Structure 1
Amino acid sequence: MPSVPSTPPWDVHRLPPADGRTVLVTGGNAGIGYFVAEQLAATGAAVVLGSRDPGKAEAALAVLRARVPGARVRAVRLDLADLGSLRTAVASLGPHLDAVVHNAGVALDDPPRRETGDGHELMFGTNHLGHFALTRWLLPLLAAAPAGRVVTMGSFAAKTEQLDLADLQSRHDYRPKRTYGRTKLAQMHFGLELERRLRAAGSAVTSVVVHPGGALDSRTPARPPVHQRTAGAWLGGLPAAVVLQGKDAGAWPAVRAVLDPAVGGGQLWGPRVFGLRGAPRREPLWRNLADPAVAGRLWAASSELTGVDPQDALG
């Protein structure tokens, strides 16, 4: 009886080829998003950096081309805080898109509370509402691909948070770190609810949620001028290296979610070791992500706040 060929174990340093595929990475000009783009570009995929700053995008493209000879990379101006600009930005992407990594985000450490030009709290408006609205315009492009995929980058900071559906904009109780964690939790809820709606519509597109674990600048390899790392910062980060990692490793779950057909819709992927560092693995859904009713109410509120609904692209 002939043996059935086994699937080789996933190796973050030996990724499968992805020639012919096109992936959009929001916030791909810096941080984890840059390393997602670099790793995908090395597989032969065409990578589009979504960035609100054309200068930073061009700098990132130059580094990518130097690091990955023959890299097929370009940038599109994408400002998630400006909801009205997103449809036009998507129009420049072409007839189809194989995957999007919803990575871009704003993290504020100190008050005062700030708002987008649309009047939304800056972190919620950018991290969640921007990606919610962007998905509305991307879904037709993803549906035109053989197996389109939405990969939403959550955060370990969301694991201990709960959404306050009565105060999504943090108007009554604004604490920057907590607000950030809740915006990432909202993103993760959206990614899971999107998968439920995709399945109900019979779509070939899938939606996966990932998180990078603990990803530190001090443990991240230098990519000047995109990322500068001094010897002092590297040494200072040594104690944390026992449980945390660099942003290059923080990119691994998202990269696997884009490339590995064994990763299924509605799943959560993160680092293997305590959810903080190591190779990517599937995790059980966190307890605060388990209630579809919360995700449904968030979806309805997000549609009202943005004036668009990704459901409209599902037919």
Structure 2
Amino acid sequence: MAPAPPRNQRDHRNQGKTFLVTGGNAGVGYFVAEELAATGALVVLGSRDAAKAEAAMAALRSRVPGAHVRHLPLDLADLSSVRTAGDRLAHGSTHGSAPDPAIDRLDAVVHNAGVALDDPPRRQTKDGHELMFGTNHLGHFALTQGLAPLLSAAPAARVVTVGSFAARSERLDLDDLQSAEDYRPKRTYGRSKLAQMSFGFALDRHLRALGSPVLSVVAHPGGALDGLTPSRPPVHVTSPARRLRTLPAGLLVQGKHAGARPVVRAVLDAEVRGGQLWGPRVFGLRGRPRSEPVPAHMADREVASRLWSISAELVGADPDLGFRSRCR
């Protein structure tokens, strides 16, 4: 399959804005970054792998001539890396061949990066947390605090949490959040994404109570398959044979480029409101983005409150995550 042709021009409507996409070097995150870069914004790719980030930036620039992109070293499975991310953005960084200038505000962060394991054994982060829960939820929870000053400095910033359809059928076990007693990889993954989504909704309630202008929105890509995804070499290459084998699945699901659209909508659309859930229109699996009803178990305030308290203790976070009331 031949690579898609580059875009002819950017639309510049978000020139001057800065968006951070965790895991923006691959998968859905890459396509989110591509769409955001096409609006003229500076797009920061949060990635632990510098080589993969460089490859993604090269692919972005080939697709969006003149794109403003840069790399933020970020390992969500290492809380020391997470804690320095906000400082790197606010004070600039010299990790690359040329220094990255400081930024004074962040208009949106997309909590996208994640780990999905299919088989045992149970693995741990550098800090001793179960890898999927520690990366997908705890890493983003801690990152939110580190970015709070930059988000609060923007006129109307957004925290967009990328959830998963897999979270719909799961329920959190607050006594075994890290699957120490009963580890089943697919269930643990679904629960880690449910924790992320529950936090995203709770964060918006928290921000509203503080009178903050920052919004928290949750989005999910539906069913997003590599075989239905257009090539973006060297980040992703779909062979004609692979695409042909996957085409029948396109009746139910879609490619990762399409899975990125609800996320991009949650970042950019002026009509989006805090606390909403965005996903694909057709059975939540494919199609154009729409606002969906929030499942009751994701909006459970008691569960979310306990999850928040446990998470703050596990990562050593401020209970307010660094957001301060504007109502005082």
Using the size of structure 1 for normalisation, the TM-score is: 0.94
> Equivalent residue for 1:57?
53
Does the CA-based 8 Å contact 2:82-2:143 persist in structure 1?
Answer: yes
Paired position in structure 1 for 2:202: 193
* CA distance 1:66–1:155, change in 2 (3 Å): same
- The equivalences for 1:117-156 within 5 A come to 117-156=126-165
Number of the residue aligned with 1:10: none
Among 259, 277, 286, the alignment partner of 1:277 is 286
Q: 1:35 to 1:310 in 2, by over 3 A?
A: farther
Q: Which amino acid aligns with 1:289?
A: M
Match of 1:18 in 2: 14
Cα shift at 1:309: 2.9
CA shift, 1:281, in A, is 0.3
Q: Does 1:70 align with 2:40?
A: no
Residues 1-315 of structure 1 aligned to structure 2 (within 5 Å): 17-93=13-89, 94-309=103-318, 311-315=320-324
CA distance in 1, matches of 2:247, 2:65: 32
Q: CA deviation at 1:87?
A: 2.4
Identity between Structure 1 and Structure 2 (%): 69
**How far apart in 2 are the matches of 1:17 and 1:156?**
31
CA distance in 2, matches of 1:87, 1:200: 25
Structure 1: 5+ residue runs without aligned partners? 1-13
Closer, same or farther: CA 108–268 of 1 in aligned 2, 3 Å: same
3-state DSSP of counterpart to 1:28: coil
Runs of 4+ residues deviating >2 angstroms: 14-17
Give per-residue Cα distances to partners, 1:161-201, cap 9 Å, x unaligned: 00000000000110101100000000000000000110111
Q: 2: CA distance between counterparts of 1:136 and 1:313?
A: 5
Once residues 189 and 274 of structure 1 are traced to their aligned partners in structure 2, the CA distance between those partners, rounded to angstroms, is: 21
Q: CA 1:49–1:146 in 2, change beyond 3 Å: closer, same or farther?
A: same
Task: Report deviation, 1:16.
Answer: 8.2
Per-residue deviation at 1:287? 2.6
Aligned residues between the structures: 302
Amino acid at match of 1:314: F
Q: State the Cα deviation string for residues 19-61 of structure 1 (Å, max 9, x = none).
A: 1110000000000000000000011111000000000000000
Letter in 2 for 1:77: P
What's 1:9 paired with? none
Give the letter for the 2:115 counterpart. Answer: V
What secondary structure is seen at the aligned counterpart in 2 of 1:239? Answer: helix
TM-superposed deviation, 1:207: 0.2
Q: Deviations over 1:199-255 (max 9, x none)?
A: 111101010000000000000000111011111210111111001000000000110
Tell me the C-alpha RMSD between the 2 structures: 1.2
Q: Is the 8 A contact 1:133 1:310 kept in 2?
A: no
Deviation for aligned residue 1:18? 1.4
Which amino acid in 2 is paired with 1:58?
E
TM-score (norm 2): 0.90
Mapped partners of 2:45, 2:252: distance in 1? 30
CA contact (8 A) 2:137 2:196 kept: yes
Q: Distance in 1 between matches of 2:192 and 2:163?
A: 9
AA matched with 1:155: S
- For 2:53 and 2:24, how far apart are their aligned partners in 1? 8
1:136–1:310: 8 Å Cα contact kept in structure 2?
Answer: no
